[in-house]
């Protein structure tokens, strides 16, 4: 269903705590990059997704290469060409629970008829002909339950080439990283670490000691 202001769009936006932005990379001239700054300034945690720039940060937020299996986004914003937007929507339909499906926001130029038809068929909410940044700024919207700052983790290959990995813990209010010099193995927030069904987060969780919090575990492994 096409979600509009009359159909509760603003309530959906302000009650969301984390917004995933596909197409947000390091090019500071791109609207997707600017959206990370604009939305986080209004209290939302942001998860930029850009395969080429993964492991770097935008305004302290780590860029992911993709959306890990097991993670259930609230709002997915697409700053993509239509064919790439269609691919993202297809993967979401395959991997996400229909009862808890994210709001799909097609930024101007990302609209794809096949993707929209598929969302209509399954009864999923989506937005077209609107910009999430302009909408939030014009209507002075803010996250009603901010989770900022976020703790996040990064794993890269060792620079020694010895087959080991380097695990580090960061915060969105202090991190300022470029692309990793060594191969990126995993990056995500502490919340991602708790639910991701990919190999590295599952392995990290298996190292958790009795009564140890996930933050304590992540911090211990970084020392």
Report which secondary-structure segment, H or E, holds 60.
Answer: none
Q: How many CA atoms lie within 13 A of 89 on its CB side?
A: 31
Query: What does the pLDDT look like over 74-94, one tens digit per residue?
Result: 999 999 999 999 999 999 999
Report which secondary-structure segment, H or E, holds 97.
Answer: none
DSSP 8-state assignment for residue 80: S
Spatial neighbors of 64 by CB under 8 A, at least 6 apart, are: 47, 48, 49, 50, 54, 187, 188
Residue spans per domain, the chain = 5-138, 151-222
What average pLDDT score do residues 16-37 get? 98
Report which secondary-structure segment, H or E, holds 152.
Answer: strand 151-157
Predicted structure pTM score: 0.97
Task: Give the residue among 86, 93, 102 at the shortest CA–CA distance from 15.
Answer: 102
User: What is the three-class DSSP state of 102?
Assistant: coil
User: What is the three-class DSSP state of 124?
Assistant: coil
119 cis-preceded (ω within 30 degrees of 0): no
* Distances from the Cα of 177 to the Cα of 62, 149, 150, 155, angstroms: 8, 16, 15, 13
Query: What does the pLDDT look like over 179-221, one tens digit per residue?
Result: 999 999 999 999 999 999 999 999 999 999 999 999 999 999 9
The percentage of the chain sitting over the pLDDT mark of 70, rounded to a whole number, equals: 100
149 cis-preceded (ω within 30 degrees of 0): yes
Class of domain 5-138 (CATH, top level): alpha beta
DSSP 8-state assignment for residue 39: H
């Amino acid at each position: 269903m096409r979600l509009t202001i009359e159909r509760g769009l603003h309530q959906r936006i302000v009650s969301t705590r984390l917004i995933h932005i596909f197409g947000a990379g390091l090019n500071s001239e791109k609207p997707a990059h600017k959206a990370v700054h604009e939305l986080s300034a209004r209290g939302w945690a942001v998860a930029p997704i850009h395969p080429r720039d993964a492991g770097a940060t935008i305004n302290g937020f780590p860029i992911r290469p993709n959306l890990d299996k097991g993670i259930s986004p609230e709002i997915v914003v697409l700053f993509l060409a239509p064919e790439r937007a269609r691919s993202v929507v297809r993967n979401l339909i395959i991997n996400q629970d229909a009862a808890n499906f994210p709001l799909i926001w097609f930024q101007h130029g990302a609209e794809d008829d096949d993707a929209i038809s598929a969302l209509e068929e399954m009864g999923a909410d989506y937005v077209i002909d609107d910009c999430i940044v302009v909408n939030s700024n014009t209507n002075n919207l803010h996250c009603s339950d901010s989770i900022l700052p976020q703790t996040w983790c990064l794993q890269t290959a060792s620079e020694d080439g010895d087959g080991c990995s380097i695990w580090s813990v960061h915060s969105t209010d202090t991190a300022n990283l470029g692309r990793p010099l060594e191969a990126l193995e995993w990056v995500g927030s502490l919340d991602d670490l708790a639910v991701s069904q990919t190999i590295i987060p599952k392995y990290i969780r298996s190292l958790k000691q009795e009564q140890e919090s996930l933050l304590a575990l992540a911090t211990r492994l970084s020392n």
